[in-house]
C-alpha cells in the first residue's frame, strides 16, 4: 500500500481549532501559509512584532494549559482577514484582524470568555512571516494515522489525530515507522522534497479531548511507559516549493 496524504490542517490562531485544506502551496523553508500566524498573548510576553522571535508556548493561550479553547471553532479568511469564532454551532464573533477595532474585539471576547485563564490583559499578536509554532524552526508537523490506531488499540479508547495538532496526516505507513526516520533524512510528498528535522515530544495538550475539552487520556505517560519516550509524530522542513494536496504519495 502506498503512503498518501489523508488530511491537511493549519491552525491560523495558535491554540484554537484547525482548518482543513484540500491543497496548499508551500515555499522552501517556510511553514504552511498562515499556520500559527496569530497568537493571543496571555499576559506580557516580551514579543516584539518588529523583531519577532520564538517564545515558549506558555506565553500564549495554548491547549497545554487552556483546555477550554477546544470548545471554540475558528475560521480565518485569508482574503478578507476575517476571523470567525463559533461555539455550540453559533457564531460568537466576526472580526477583521487587519484592523485595530477587530483585534480589540477579539481581545475583549477572550477577556470575557476566559477570565480565570488569563494572567494579564490578552493581546492578539501578529508579525508577517512569523509563525507562533512550538518550535523555532519553520517546519510542518507530520503524524502517521496507523501510529494513532496502534495507540487506540493500546489504550482501548478512540484517539482523534487532532490531539497532536498535525499539519499532515498520512495513511499507508506501518505504525511508528516515522519514529525510525533519522534527522536530515529526505522524503518526498506529492513530489515536494522534505527533510526530517526531529521527532515531536508530546505535552499535556494531547490529554485534552478535542470534542469535550476534558483531560481524559494521559498520552505522554502512556508513551513513556510503553516506548520509553514521549515522541509521536515528526517535524519536516520544506526543501523546494510546490503544491501539496490530499491523496499525494509519500516516498521515503
Place of cell 475583549: 108
Q: Over range 109-119, report the average pLDDT.
A: 95
CB atoms within 10 A of CB 112: 9
Q: Over range 83-99, report the average pLDDT.
A: 96
16 in Cβ contact with 72 (< 8 Å): yes
Tell me the percentage of the chain whose pLDDT exceeds 90. Answer: 99
Instruction: Write the CA distances from 208 to 112, 118, 130, 165, 226, integer angstroms.
Output: 22, 19, 27, 11, 20
Res. 4: pLDDT tops 90: yes
C-alpha span between 67 and 16 (Å, rounded): 10
CB atoms within 10 A of CB 31: 24
pLDDT score, position 1: 65
Split at pLDDT 50, 70, 90, the class of 21 is very high
C-alpha span between 133 and 141 (Å, rounded): 10
Partners of 4 in beta bridges:
171, 249
Of 97, 100, 124, 96, the residue nearest 110 (C-alpha): 124
Res. 18: pLDDT tops 80: yes
Place of cell 494513532: 148
The structure's pTM equals 0.96
Pairing of strands 250-251, 186-189: antiparallel
Q: Burial level of 160, CB count in 10 A (0-12/13-18/19+)?
A: exposed
Res. 236: pLDDT tops 90: yes
Amino acid at each position: 500500500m502506498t503512503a498518501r496524504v489523508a488530511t491537511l490542517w493549519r491552525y491560523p490562531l495558535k491554540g484554537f481549532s484547525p482548518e482543513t485544506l484540500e491543497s496548499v502551496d508551500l515555499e522552501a523553508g517556510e511553514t504552511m501559509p498562515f499556520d500559527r500566524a496569530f497568537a493571543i498573548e496571555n499576559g506580557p510576553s516580551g514579543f516584539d512584532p518588529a523583531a519577532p522571535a520564538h517564545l515558549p508556548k506558555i506565553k500564549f493561550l495554548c491547549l497545554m494549559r487552556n483546555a477550554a479553547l477546544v470548545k471554540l471553532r475558528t475560521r480565518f479568511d485569508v482574503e478578507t482577514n476575517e476571523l470567525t469564532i463559533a461555539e455550540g454551532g453559533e457564531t460568537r464573533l466576526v472580526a477583521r484582524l487587519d484592523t485595530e477595532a477587530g483585534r480589540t474585539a477579539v481581545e475583549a471576547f477572550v477577556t470575557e470568555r476566559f477570565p480565570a485563564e488569563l494572567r494579564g490583559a490578552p493581546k492578539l499578536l501578529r508579525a508577517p512571516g512569523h509563525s507562533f509554532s512550538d518550535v523555532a524552526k519553520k517546519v510542518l508537523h507530520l503524524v502517521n494515522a496507523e501510529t494513532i490506531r496502534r495507540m487506540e488499540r493500546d489504550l482501548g479508547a478512540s484517539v482523534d489525530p487532532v490531539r497532536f495538532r498535525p499539519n499532515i496526516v498520512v495513511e499507508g505507513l506501518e505504525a511508528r515507522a516515522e519514529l525510525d526516520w533519522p534527522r536530515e533524512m529526505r522524503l518526498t510528498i506529492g513530489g515536494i522534497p522534505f527533510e526530517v528535522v526531529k521527532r515531536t515530544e508530546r505535552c499535556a495538550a494531547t490529554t485534552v479531548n478535542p470534542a469535550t475539552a476534558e483531560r481524559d487520556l494521559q498520552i505522554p505517560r502512556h508513551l513513556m511507559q510503553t516506548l520509553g519516550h514521549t515522541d509521536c509524530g515528526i517535524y519536516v522542513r520544506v526543501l523546494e516549493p510546490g503544491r501539496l494536496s490530499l491523496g499525494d504519495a509519500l516516498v521515503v
